[in-house]
């Protein structure tokens, strides 16, 4: 083919895309403002016009995703999947069998529901089930995340990325995806992936300590800093005489006196008023410290306001879009802002030994919080925490059976109506969402709060980004390079190049952004090799969800990162064979 050169529009588009990529990878900007900002720059500089820049806001994709969020929230709030979970877990007949018993129904549910609430809903029962059988929850939580990711590629509504690519395809003048059009690629990939997970977990995924460890087990450690009250019962006593030597599940690791550390702490060390005592211990057993006369919390001076039966312990995971990222609890005024006290911070399976108010928070950090019982309801739909779960073992109240059945019935109806072609996916999902609100299965406010606006902005803005890559000629040049590299090898090798590039991108930026970047390049490549553009579009959609190598590439991976006590490298151990297999499945079956 004739070599193509980049014009100024293509060079500018490339520069803007690279800057956006760097900003997202380094955490300088969240996906929504980064992508929208890139589109605005390309609009102002004349690379794309207004219609192209904002075509995504009139596309069915973001509206469909919003309606599906409402369906998923109705399923979550009514507990409609709990009976399925209970039946699937069973009594436990071996690790590999149990992984399949959990993974298959989780993947099946994810084929029709947003995967984030599925993981949020299943994390707690799966963890408690594992602990009751003396197994670390880390053996199940990462596989649970991978299972819902795999399930999301089974249908067009399984994940927002599929709908994004479907919308991009429609904008390009093609018909959108049918409900089961991607299944011939997604099903082999999901089946292969679930089997690989079940086989390899016992070999490659080590036991990690979880915060949901039972009281008589070695629980995951959290750090708590207490102050010796000058007028309290322990001031002037030795560590042993004060009863701090043999606390169950809690260990005194350091004393800080007038800014100078004393460590290790001997049992004969005399405690002075104002000493800062650093304890490491099991998450639930830190309650013991609050019952010791003469010790007060150093991190949360107003903790006593929360110590009532109306309060409980929560675990909050910091997500990629959280305003807490890169800031300390002290800087954000955490106690006043959230009406919650931080009593521990956990990172990569280890407690942070530092003054908690001065710790700069990162993606995946797990905060142990003491707050009132409405804390989860107040913050569950906000970007501050990716997932919030209670640690006290108290079950969430079940919804009336009628609402549960209605939520399941409406969701099943969407699948039947959209799958049969009676209504497009957009109309079917909108009618379903309105019906759930009209029947008060969920309230209008809950429905509104369930919609993740940032995700919708990413989806809508991605269309402008894709238009710029296409319009500037960048897609044609990059597609030509892929064709040149695979010249004489056949179109599947060109497809392999597209799939590989998409998989790499999706580990660093959001899956929707990766799909938007690769879609025009895939279409250009398909034209060059004379292949079916729909096959290349399906490959991009499925590959953009194949994020198994890091905890930050996919939201559900981040959700289980802290609660599972995982380390960053754990994802690559289990995800590497899964990624290789997924790439092969996509190339072979597209």
pLDDT of 303 above 70: no
Cα separation, 168 vs 56, in Å, equals: 8
Please indicate, yes or no, whether residues 206 and 230 belong to a single structural domain of this protein. no
390, 414, 441 - which closes a domain: 390
Residue 543 has a pLDDT of: 95
Confirm whether 69 is domain-assigned: yes
Tokens of 108: 């099946």
Q: Residue 23 is part of which domain span? A: 8-54+463-589
pLDDT of 219 above 70: no
Please indicate, yes or no, whether residues 189 and 229 belong to a single structural domain of this protein. no
Confirm whether 555 is domain-assigned: yes
Least confident of 139-143, 168-172, 297-301: 297-301
pLDDT of 457 above 80: yes
Please indicate, yes or no, whether residues 72 and 204 belong to a single structural domain of this protein. yes
* pLDDT tens-digit readout, 361-385: 988 888 888 777 888 888 887 888 8
Please indicate, yes or no, whether residues 75 and 148 belong to a single structural domain of this protein. yes
Residue 309 has a pLDDT of: 54
Please indicate, yes or no, whether residues 69 and 172 belong to a single structural domain of this protein. yes
Using CA atoms of 93, 96, 99, 105 in order, give the dihedral in degrees to the nearest 10.
Answer: -80
Cα separation, 151 vs 158, in Å, equals: 7
Given a contact cutoff of 8 angstroms between Cβ atoms, the answer to whether 236 and 270 are in contact is yes
Confirm whether 570 is domain-assigned: yes
Please indicate, yes or no, whether residues 420 and 545 belong to a single structural domain of this protein. no
Q: How far apart are the first and last CA of the chain?
A: 25
Cα separation, 512 vs 167, in Å, equals: 12
Q: Name the more confident of 3 and 328.
A: 328
Confirm whether 3 is domain-assigned: no
Confirm whether 1 is domain-assigned: no
How many domains would you assign to the chain? 3
Confidence band of 283 (pLDDT split at 50, 70, 90): low
Please indicate, yes or no, whether residues 364 and 298 belong to a single structural domain of this protein. yes
Please indicate, yes or no, whether residues 359 and 410 belong to a single structural domain of this protein. no
Please indicate, yes or no, whether residues 37 and 109 belong to a single structural domain of this protein. no
Confirm whether 2 is domain-assigned: no
Confirm whether 410 is domain-assigned: yes
Half-sphere exposure of 320 (CA within 13 A, CB side): 28
366 beta partners: 317, 346
CATH number at residue 276: 3.30.70.1450
pLDDT of 518 above 70: yes
SS3 content of the chain, % helix, strand, coil (to 5): 55, 10, 35
Of 37, 568, 25, 29, which Cα lies nearest the Cα of 323? 29
What is the H or E stretch that residue 390 is in? strand 387-390
453, 480, 495 - which closes a domain: 453
Q: For the chain, what percent of residues have pLDDT higher than 90? A: 21
Task: For the chain, give the mean pLDDT.
Answer: 83
Q: Environment class of residue 222 by beta-carbon count within 10 Å: exposed (0-12), middle (13-18) or buried (19+)?
A: buried
pLDDT of 107 above 90: yes
Q: What is the mean pLDDT of residues 266-285?
A: 80
Please indicate, yes or no, whether residues 336 and 412 belong to a single structural domain of this protein. no
Confirm whether 494 is domain-assigned: yes
Please indicate, yes or no, whether residues 191 and 321 belong to a single structural domain of this protein. no
Please indicate, yes or no, whether residues 312 and 180 belong to a single structural domain of this protein. no
């Amino acid at each position: 083919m004739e070599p193509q050169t980049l014009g100024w529009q293509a060079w500018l588009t490339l520069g803007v895309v690279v800057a956006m990529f760097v900003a997202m990878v380094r955490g300088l900007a969240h996906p929504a403002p980064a992508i929208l900002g890139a589109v605005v720059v390309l609009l102002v500089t004349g690379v794309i016009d207004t219609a192209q820049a904002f075509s995504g806001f009139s596309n069915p994709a973001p509206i469909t995703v919003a309606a599906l969020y409402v369906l998923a929230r109705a399923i979550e709030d009514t507990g409609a999947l709990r009976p399925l979970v209970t039946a699937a877990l069973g009594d436990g007949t071996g690790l590999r069998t149990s992984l399949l018993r959990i993974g298959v129904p989780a993947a099946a549910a994810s084929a029709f529901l947003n995967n984030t609430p599925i993981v949020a809903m299943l994390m707690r029962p799966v963890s408690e089930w594992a602990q009751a059988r003396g197994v670390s929850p880390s053996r199940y939580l990462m596989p649970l995340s991978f299972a819902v990711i795999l399930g999301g590629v089974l249908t067009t509504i399984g994940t927002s990325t599929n709908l994004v690519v479907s919308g991009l395809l429609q904008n390009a003048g093609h018909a959108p995806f049918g409900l089961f059009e991607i299944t011939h690629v997604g099903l082999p990939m999901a089946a292969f992936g679930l089997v690989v997970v079940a086989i390899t977990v016992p070999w490659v995924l080590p036991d990690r300590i979880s915060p949901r460890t039972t009281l008589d087990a070695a629980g995951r450690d959290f750090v708590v800093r207490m102050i010796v009250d000058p007028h309290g019962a322990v001031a002037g006593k030795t560590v042993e005489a004060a009863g701090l030597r043999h606390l169950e599940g809690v260990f005194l690791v350091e004393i800080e006196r007038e800014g100078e550390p004393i460590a290790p702490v001997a049992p004969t060390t005399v405690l002075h008023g104002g000493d800062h005592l650093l304890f490491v211990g099991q998450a639930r057993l830190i309650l013991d410290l609050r019952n010791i006369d003469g010790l007060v919390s150093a991190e949360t001076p107003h903790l006593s306001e929360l110590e009532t039966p109306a309060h409980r312990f929560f675990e909050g995971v910091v997500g990629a879009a959280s305003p807490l990222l890169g800031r300390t609890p002290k800087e954000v005024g955490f106690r006043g802002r959230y009406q919650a006290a931080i009593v521990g911070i956990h990172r990569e399976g280890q407690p942070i030994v530092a003054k908690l108010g001065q710790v700069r928070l990162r993606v995946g950090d797990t905060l142990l919080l003491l707050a009132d019982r409405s804390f989860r309801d107040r913050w569950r739909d906000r970007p501050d925490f990716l997932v919030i779960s209670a640690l006290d073992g108290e079950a969430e109240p079940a919804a009336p059976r009628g609402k549960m059945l209605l939520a399941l019935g409406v969701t099943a109806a969407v699948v039947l109506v959209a799958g049969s072609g009676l209504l497009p996916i957009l109309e079917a999902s909108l009618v379903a969402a309105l019906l759930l609100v009209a029947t008060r299965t969920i309230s209008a406010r809950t429905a509104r709060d369930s919609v993740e606006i940032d995700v919708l902005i990413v989806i809508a803005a991605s269309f402008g980004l894709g238009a710029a890559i296409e319009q500037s000629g960048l897609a044609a040049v990059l597609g030509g390079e892929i064709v040149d590299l695979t010249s004489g090898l056949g179109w599947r090798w060109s497809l392999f190049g597209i799939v590989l590039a998409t998989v790499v991108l999706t580990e660093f930026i959001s899956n929707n952004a990766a799909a938007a970047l690769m879609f025009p390049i895939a279409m250009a490549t398909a034209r060059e090799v004379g292949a079916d553009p729909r096959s290349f579009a399906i490959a991009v959609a499925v590959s953009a969800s194949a994020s198994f190598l890091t905890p930050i590439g996919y939201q559900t991976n981040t959700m289980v990162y802290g609660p599972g006590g995982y380390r960053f490298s754990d994802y690559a151990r289990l995800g590497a064979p899964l990624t290789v297999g997924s790439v092969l499945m996509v190339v072979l079956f597209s």
